[in-house]
Amino acid sequence: MTSHRSRRPHAVVVRSLSAAALVVLAGCASEPAAPSPADTEAPLPQVSASVRSGPPEFVAGEMIVKFRAGATTVARARVMRGARAALRERILTASMRRRGDTDGIQVLQTDLDVTTAVASMLSDPDVEYAEPNWVYHHEAVSNDPYVTNGSLWGMGSGFGTQAVTAWANNKTNCSGVYVGIIDEGYMYTHADLAANVGVNPGEIAGNGVDDDGNGLRDDVYGWDFAANNASVFDGLNDDHGTHVAGTIGGVGGNGQGVAGMCWRVKLLDAKFLGTNGGTTANAIKAVDYFTNLKLRGVNIVATNNSWGGGGFSQGLQDAIERANAAGILFVAAAGNSTLNCETSACYPAEYPNANIIAVASITSTGAISSFSNYGVTTIDIGAPGSGIFSSVPSGNRRNIMSGYASYSGTSMATPHVTGAAALYAATHPGATAAQIKAAILSSATPTPSLAGRTLTGGRLNVSGF
């Protein structure tokens, strides 16, 4: 797949986070306990995007290393001694093996300052690359009430996606399409999501056996790479992933709640973000999880990536490229730091991989959201991301119920585009990832606030899909 993307890594200054901290979601500040004054006036919980500043974060004492092919055991031991490093984890995914990689990557612990240890590794000819284990953040006609009362402005209205026009033309059914959610978990029992839960067709539920041979037992609805188990919904804290899922595939026409871009679609989850976040290492596993499913015949069209932060990672970019080779779009949040991504690091949105669609956020008046990152060659398109209603878990630990809330962030803009990819794939069977991306970008509606700030200069419009 060809692309305009030809950028090189930005030079970044890094700072460490405590070793307990992992990757935190990329698009919104998902802390409803502390709403802003404007939020408290809303009829439902509102969450605004937080604007972050400062250098990228990484996990203290950890780095990701790939040795060159042919590096001997003796050479590896020598390199690790020089960096005062020890093996924490070896990652060799099925997708890596399919691409001919028999070694994978290593997550190493070091007693040195991470930047010093990385520099030591990079100076050795037996090392292909070494990098910090970066930390990411949230970048947070239907008879469904929030559609009919106008709350779901992102689906219609003057500056919405015009999904309502596609729906009116009977383009609602994406049931043959799978979408991968790389995020927190999501509440797959939610009243507006249960009918669209995707199932790994190679796995038999509850038998304790790795039926499809991917190394994961009972990954029926996906996998939690943070906890290394098959539980992809762990309670109220999985609100961000549930919100994203509702925008992509909230069940439409059921007389309740919201409607997603696709009323019928199959949602699978690769959870790598928890309460304290997640790591680059687990993000790589999550991306490769869906690539492996695609190569096994599951129709994964796109993954939604409403997260970001950290610096350049060769390991993560390589995983995205494996997804590209498999024909999977990687839809990424631009980020919430009001940065110009031409001059600042905005990963993973600005990686040069041809399968990436990077998404900025706009408001219901067509303005670029105050928090949204932008970039005339680095960010592709705008989509609704301010004041977006969608599904969330609600209640308490003992009684978790189906709820709804309004969140803001490039996290909320991104699933509109992911849902659009699924919708186009459903209405154009056999379309390649390159063709789907081209259709999304070429149909963008010119928008003054996005001119010179995104590649298309426009906002998502699916009316012709």
Q: Which residues pair with 291 in a beta bridge?
A: none
**What's residue 33's pLDDT?**
31
Strands (E), 139-293: 173-183, 222-224, 264-271
User: What's the token pair of residue 423?
Assistant: 């919708």
Q: Each residue of 250-273: pLDDT tens digit?
A: 999 888 889 999 999 999 999 999
Show which residues are catalytic: 183, 240, 411
Residue 59 CA to residue 323 CA, distance in Å, equals: 25
Q: How far apart are CA 38 and CA 36, in angstroms?
A: 5
Residue 7 lies in a domain: no
In the predicted model, is pLDDT for residue 140 greater than 90? no
Domain shared by 130 and 143, yes or no? no
Of 134, 158, 189, the position where a domain reaches its end is 134
> Of 70, 103, 134, which residue constitutes the final position of a domain?
134
* Peptide bond just before 43 cis, omega within 30 deg: no
Residue 27 clears pLDDT 80, i.e. is over it: no
Are 235 and 340 part of one and the same domain? yes
Which pLDDT does position 57 carry in this prediction?
A: 87
Percent of the chain surpassing pLDDT 90: 76
For the segment 294-336, what is each residue's pLDDT rounded down to a tens digit?
Answer: 999 999 999 999 999 889 999 999 999 999 999 999 999 999 9
Question: How much is the CA Rg of the chain, to the nearest whole Å?
Answer: 21
Q: What is the C-alpha separation between 463 and 465, in angstroms, rounded?
A: 6
What is the C-alpha separation between 390 and 370, in angstroms, rounded?
21
**Mean pLDDT across the stretch 416-431?**
97
- Answer for the pair 284, 320: CB distance below 8 angstroms, yes or no: no
Residue 93: give its domain's CATH number.
3.30.70.80
Give the relative orientation of helices 314-326 and 280-295 as an angle to the nearest 10 degrees.
10
Distances (CA, A) of 175 to 52, 171, 293, 398: 38, 11, 17, 33
Phi, psi for 428 (deg, rounded to 5): -135, 70
Looking at per-residue pLDDT, the higher value among 140 and 59 belongs to 59
* Number of structural domains found in the chain: 2
Whether the pLDDT of residue 450 is over 80: the answer is yes
The enclosing H or E element of 427 equals helix 410-427
Read off the pLDDT of each residue in 40-61 and give the average, rounded to a whole number. 62
The pTM of the full predicted model, rounded to 2 decimals, is: 0.87
Mean pLDDT, rounded, of the chain:
88
Q: Which two tokens stand for residue 75?
A: 């050479």
Q: Is residue 6 situated within a structural domain?
A: no
Residues near 378 by Cβ (< 8 Å), separated by ≥ 6? 5, 7, 341, 342, 346, 349, 350, 358, 455
3-state secondary structure of 29: coil
Residue 168 · residue 252 · CB < 8 Å: no
Q: Over 80: is that where the pLDDT of 143 sits? A: no
Cα 130–chain centre separation: 23
| Chosen domain end from 134, 162, 190 | 134
In this prediction, residue 170 carries a pLDDT of 74
Does residue 104 sit in the same domain as residue 151?
no
Mean pLDDT over 32-49 rounds to 38
Whether residue 143 is found in the same domain as residue 167: yes
Asked whether residue 123 falls in the same domain as residue 229, the answer is: no
Task: Indicate whether 8 belongs to any domain.
Answer: no
The answer on 211 and 72 residing in a single domain is no
Nearest to 420 by CA among 431, 406, 409: 431
* 155 in the same domain as 123: no
Decide if 278 is inside a domain.
Answer: yes
For 297, the domain range is 139-459
- Does 181 have pLDDT greater than 80? yes
Element (H, E) at 304: strand 300-305
The predicted model gives 27-47 an average pLDDT of 37
What confidence score (pLDDT) does residue 30 get? 35
Q: pLDDT of 267-288, one tens digit each?
A: 999 999 987 778 999 999 999 9
CA–CA dist 81, 64 (Å, integer) = 15
Question: CB of 258 within 8 A of CB of 404?
Answer: yes
The whole-number average pLDDT for the span 368-396 is 96
Task: Kindly indicate the confidence band of residue 13, based on its pLDDT and cuts at 50, 70 and 90.
Answer: very low
Q: Say whether both 124 and 175 belong to one domain.
A: no
In a domain, 455, yes or no: yes
Q: Which of 465, 419, 411, 413 is nearest to 443 (CA)?
A: 465
- Measured CA to CA, the distance from residue 48 to residue 27 in angstroms comes to 9
Q: What is the pLDDT of residue 323?
A: 99
Question: For residue 28, what pLDDT is reported?
Answer: 52
Say if 368 falls within a structural domain: yes
Whether residue 1 is contained in a domain is answered as no
- Convert the pLDDT of each residue in 328-380 to its tens digit: 999 999 999 999 999 999 999 999 999 999 999 999 999 999 999 999 999 99
